[in-house]
Amino acid sequence: MNSGRTRHARGLALTIAVGLSVTACTSADPGEPRHGATTRAYGPPPASWCASGVPSASSGAGRPHRGALHDDFNGDGYSDVAFPVPRGDLSGGKARRKPGYVAVVYGSSHGLRIASKQLFDQDKPGIPGVGEPGDYYGSSVTTADLDQDGYADLIVGSRENGHDEAYGNGGYEDGQLRRYHWQGSLSVIWGGPHGLSGSVTLPSRATSHDGVGSLVVAGDFDGDGTPDLATQVRGGDLRVLSGPFGHDGTPAGGVHDVRGPGKAGMRDLATGDVNGDGITDLVSVGEAGNGGTGRGDLLYWKGTHDGLTSGVALSGIHGPQDSGRAVAVGDVNGDGYADIVTNAFFKFVSVDSGGSGVEEREYARKYRLPHLKSGAVVYLPGGRSGPDLEKMTMLNQDSPGVPGVAHEDSGADEEGGTDGFGAGVSVGDIDGDGYADVSAGIPQKDVGGEDGAGSVVTLRGTAHGLTGESAQLLTQDTEGVPGTAQGADQFGSATKIVDVDGDGRADLLAGGELAPDGTPHGARGSVWVFPSTPCGVTPKGSSVIGPSTLGAPKQFNSELGADFNS
């Protein structure tokens, strides 16, 4: 453990940037219909980030990409995107095996090219393994040029692959009870001039109950100039595969485990150089496992020339019953240090399960955390000593400039707050001004009287950090957005900021987990694509991708759009 970082953590001073009053321009809750409205609840497009469509002095004109990209599978200079569907099934049969698949769409000067789509599962020739029920191929996906040939590769995790080699709990076979090993696996699909093709299994040393592949990220954790991989194992530790990688998948630096801070259960991983030393650090959000409270913590592994150090919990990010579910990393304030962005939800523990049974209003008052009324986006700047806890801020729907109203949840459900503000956070420079911006979902937001239709908000990065001023909000009822907001669509369950057209400004992808009837294809899960401008994202020219768009079967609960590649 780094003693300097420990001293820094002890100096925690929690700053909550949540405005308790709402400005006049946001006094009406966008989730409710306008008075006298007869069409869509949101009417015109979202407010621009720059007046009258003219970029501010700090906004760049947008410049094409230069150099290799970590997510350019065919080397054409444009970022490509992978959509994991771990509960999907490409067979189209009625058996509903749902072994999982991954869809890939390539970027171009005109954005994502649907005609370029590729679908991968373990029944596809050249992909190792056999598709079996519950493999969850695509549990997580990430990208990196593992073999250093100039083309990004796609790494795919399968958290329960190889589980049916013995017998135990999960159904009968030949008169015996099947045993599930949940060992998991990692594989790579190689990039090349014609895109992705050919795949091998990576030697991850997976054994019973490791759950390899449930979460996986890439980064240079030892500073040797080649990418490494890290995957969650046994809930709270990391397994690192140190590159460079041979074309047979063998990591030249070997495979080793790095301990986490106790019996933590991770929900998300992200990587970036938080302390500016040129070596990739790793951040996770999860539960520290303190008694029965299940308190959420931000977990931090520092990268060094000897690899990742043991993880530490950054206590104070979340309260005793406060929980985060997503984390992203990027330079929001432009100071050269990667910043951490996560979310915070109230996690109700019922009396019946032996918990405290505290209602959200009482809990928020006790711990002075008003963001708990509907969830929050947590911004934690990086610095020479790592995450700067003293400068941590939080934004919610009552913060100045953020559209909407933070509702109280007197019943306190297990999802944490009524709206889920902050779900699926992502970081990237939308307007090309040199500061990374933040996108976040509000999947439980009511829209036009439709419960849980969902929405997405984008927040600006500035030299002073993350701000709610001039925040933009989109729903399916925003003019120009495909589809119509309907109950339980959960639009905004996941977001991703990525420059798919190479103009130097990152575009916005937003997923909806359910979207049962509100898309042009009647899909079960969809992805909305929003172009970017110097004035922020725009619904003009937006499009939607559903299973039918990709040539995949429409299946209940397949959850296309519930996650993206990291």
285-337 pLDDT, tens digit each: 876 554 444 456 788 999 999 999 999 888 666 554 556 789 999 999 999 99
Q: Quote the pLDDT of residue 556.
A: 60
Q: Which of 535, 546, 437, 552 is nearest to 491 (CA)?
A: 546
Query: With a cut of 50, which residues of the chain have pLDDT below it?
Result: 1-42, 52-54, 56-66, 163-170, 172, 177, 290-294, 320, 348-357, 410-417, 516-522
DSSP code, position 414: T
8 A C-beta contact, residue 33 and residue 448: yes
DSSP code, position 22: -
Q: Quote the pLDDT of residue 42.
A: 45
The predicted-structure confidence for 268-287, as pLDDT tens digits, reads as follows: 999 999 999 999 999 998 76
List the structure tokens of 194.
């014609």
List the structure tokens of 175.
């008169």
d(CA 304, CA 258): 13
List the structure tokens of 332.
């929001």
Alpha-helix residue ranges (DSSP H) falling in 124-202 = none
List the structure tokens of 146.
């593992």
**How far, in Å, are 15, 70, 329, 499 from residue 302 at the CA level?**
24, 21, 14, 28
The predicted-structure confidence for 171-196, as pLDDT tens digits, reads as follows: 545 555 455 557 888 999 999 999 99
d(CA 242, CA 304): 13
Alpha-helix residue ranges (DSSP H) falling in 380-515 = none
Exposure string for 95-131, b = 16+ CB within 10 A, e = fewer: eeebbbbbbbbbbbeebbeeeebbbbbbbeeebebeb
Q: Quote the pLDDT of residue 406.
A: 81
pTM recorded for the entire structure:
0.85
Q: Quote the pLDDT of residue 36.
A: 32
